[in-house]
Structure 1
Amino acid sequence: MLTGSIPPELGGSSKLQGLYLGNNQLSGTIPGRLGVLGSLVKLNLTGNQLYGPVPRSFGDLKELTHLDLSYNELDGNLPRSFSNLSYLTYLDLHGNKFTGEIPLELGNLVQLEYFDVSGNRISGQIPEKLCALVNLFYLNLAENSLEGPVPGSGICLNLSKISLAGNKDLCGKIMGLDCRVKSFDKSYYLNAWGLAGIAVGCMIVTLSIAFALRKWILKDSGQGDLEEGKLNSFLDQNLYFLSSSSSRSKEPLSINIAMFEQPLLKITLVDILEATNNFCKTNIIGDGGFGTVYKATLPDVKTVAVKKLSQAKTQGNREFIAEMETLGKVKHQNLVPLLGYCSFGEEKLLVYEYMVNGSLDLWLRNQSRALDVLDWPKRVKIATGSARGLAFLHHGFTPHIIHRDIKASNILLNEDFEPKVADFGLARLISACETHVSTDIAGTFGYIPPEYGQSGRSTTRGDVYSFGVILLELVTGKEPTGPDFKEVEGGNLVGWVFQKIKKGQAADVLDPTVLSADSKQMMLQMLQIAAVCLSDNPANRPTMLKVLKFLKGIKDE
């Protein structure tokens, strides 16, 4: 029976994780200061008399998983800033006065499971991207003013009529109305003729440009009567991707290739075959679940790493190219840069920057002692840098990228031992056409969080768990699984470490090769950070931004 307005001072409760004010008689607008509650996980304001728009600052509630604003008198457009709530699983806005369209950006909420916007005044079309959300199991759009076709994908494929009732202008199979049937009114034909006129106009302009271009070519070449065959030859040279050698044959049009750095603009499939000696086994530098990696030297004497993706797992050509265009834009000092890609039939090839010092796994599993011991300062540097790269994937790039396969072999090291996270986006690339992520590509044994066995869903908190395992490897020098733990309590690295901590013997797990009076305290601090990352409950794990902050604290001491 609480009355009055919501006190803005609640925004000062920085550690507040849950705020439940539902089913009272609160009125007024929602204070914008609630948007600074950085630790807030659940917010329930249902069943009050709140009015006005949702504060834009709600887009800053990065930890929010549950938001219920139903049964109020809120109005205005649905905030596009909701798309920043990457952990959001439950969003209930029904029974308000929201107007405008459903923002396309809501299709970026990959964790969303429940979305109810019924009983509002929403207009426009249903975004296909929203229907395609793989985790969405409840969607209610009833009693609005939506129009156009109901998407035939994802959850919208099996929506009930009840979930769409009250939207008079929707059409499609579910609604029992053919979207191609139009009313035969005058305005429809005027629109049709208008579109036809635009199409004809575009065609005339295109032909004019082509004619002018041909005339310019003829004039520039000094041949006023250039034969048609020669003109076709000129056009061929611009339609085909040529190799850097004039003696090489042209690549067929079925090859799609793109490069993101100027020195590699002219690379072709022929170049890659030559640089890897037809993918000779002696050039293999890595082999994992996504494919085989080869060391290659391109014609411009640049050493790169070429990943040949497993043919059986890759998706269609259009989807592959779209995904590469996205991944090619992801640039960060602690991410292995994608320099280019090549698609030829079933073959899918990725070109990465070559890392001189190989992987973290190589250094930690230095069984023959062929390498120097990875000293403690380098380990702190590797932990901090890889956390920075992973935090960028989770928080600094839209759409947010869940790695899904964080492990020591995917942390690569350059000549200065600066770490770079590899293989980001590949799990999504390979599984984009599937309805869910199967466990064989959702992680590597020893790094997979416990919740994956139950839900099979990949989340950023799952990445945090896997990163916690890497921190344990850096602190202990041991691998996550293997014969070392066959007869040991706990059964694996995580279990063994937690057993030791429980017995008050945390210092016993520290790697003796780097343990010293100077490093011991810092090693124990990193162990403590790892333990928080490895919490069984995903909600209790910190974000990668917080993990990075913790690690920086170690570095500064």
Structure 2
Amino acid sequence: MAEQRRRRRILLLLLVILLCRVASVLPNSEVEALQAFMGGFEAGNPAFQSWDQSMLNPCTWFHVTCGQGNLVIRLDLGNQSLSGVLKPDIWKLQALQSLELYGNNITGKIPTELGRLANLQTLDLYLNKFTGGIPYELGNLSMLSNLDLSHNNLSGIIPTNGSFSRFTPISFTDNPNTFKNSSESNNSATTTSSGGRSSASSIATIAGGAAAGAAMLFAAPIVVFVWWWRRKRRDQFFDLLDEETPEVHLGQLRRFTLRELQVATDNFSPSNLLGRGGFGKVYKGRLLDGSLIAIKKLNEDRNGTGERQFLMEVEIISMAVHQNLLRLQGYCMTPTERLLVCPYMENKSLETRLRECSDSQPSLDWPTRRKIALGSARGLSYLHEGCNPKIIHRDVKAANILLDEKLEAVVGDFGLARIMDYKVSHVVTGVMGTLGHIPMEYLTAGRTSDKTDVFGYGIMLFELISGQRGFDLVGLANEENARVHDWVKKLFEEDRLQTLIDPSLQEIYEDREQGVREEVRLLVQIALLCTQESAPNRPRMSTVVTMLEGDGIAEHWDSWQRKTMVQASLKVGQHDSEAQNDSVTNLPPDIMSGPR
């Protein structure tokens, strides 16, 4: 009986692991709906730069806000130069509360499927090029409280059912072919015979025209001002007096005024946009003294979490001071804005340099890649062992390794970082990050620790060697029905690493006299040690630094190999034992019962 219970527990455990693995690769309906939505617009728009379908959920995508259960509650894509049509798939975002697409170049009809968004409270399609009628189904949105369909090319009758009755005519203005009811669509002017007009009616007509002209002359400046204000109000920044800003003390960091940062970035011009992340945009700026800076402008705070997120990131960057960690120069904080000011990284990110080569920025050579591996390891080691309490980055990947003017590695983007006490082995949090960089213990159980960063660092080494993103490596490994770790280990053991290595390094890799082949193999060994499935078996980042400096890698590799062999032999012994038990169990009843 005990043996049967043990088997059942093993089977149950295997089933749970299988379900977790399957769940980890199942498509996310929210991601699918957003990808379909994005497909309606012209490709290459920077607004969708961070919309990566490899992410576990879309909550870190720019312009996307999530609520409970990682469900999308807001899409804010106003003034983003979108061209295309609004796909009806948007209705699948059933938790959506706000859809803001104002100030774009969207054409086609307003999908009737929007009427199925039961939780929608705001629908802002102002200043686009929508055509056709206003869907009658929108009147079914009982929670809709903000509606703006003005300044489009809509036609037909404005429905009066349901929620439509709550909105003022301004919600529909400047749609020249829409009418409040059918009687307004009829031509109310009646014609008379040319000879039957009296002079009195002619005078009245002239007087009326003059009055109307005078009224229009008076009203024109007001109309122009209101139109200009409606367009500018969305992106307007305001300088605020110090007494109006929240009381916050951030040590000796410089506090910039909003006007300083506006001037430095040409009022946050799109031409100065460096990139987008899950929590905000990053702009290039130049201060009055000529120094270059990077300004991270956090997303607008709609859920009351922005200030906490801002202070967390400031605290983490402020307490972690190291040459291989992003340094914070200052901040700007107003009741409506949260901005971080950091040094400008001339060579952008490792991912950018690996994937975008030019005459001015050629492909990274092998010594530079080796230097980047060591520098980023030192930065992470300091986070884990040089800070008290220690800091877990939680999103280690090539995109978050920045490169300064000397191509030195600087670990950046602490938007997902967490502070952890040394006495605690791990913490359980919501799963955030990028698919391919997340270890199994974090993906399935939310258990994160410094070994989470070690795993991410190992995948980053594979990116550094191959020039490919972690998600792409997952795809290559899946073709062999294997994890990235197991796939690379097989290539290593079969001496087929040329399959993995960046094409730009192939020639120097094949030249045995330069010694690069052996250095690549050593770096692959370190990456394999870092990406073991068992978190306790992964080395600490300080150990990784030591191995990169040329000390101890052989010992750690041999130890891991011996441990792997022992585990394999135990599995074989367990299998033989179970097979023997099965053979005994299947003996005839008279043998099982023994002598009579």
Structure 1 length-normalised TM: 0.49
Higher relative contact order (CA 8 A, sep 6+): 2
Structure 2 length-normalised TM: 0.46
Structure ranking higher in helix proportion: 2
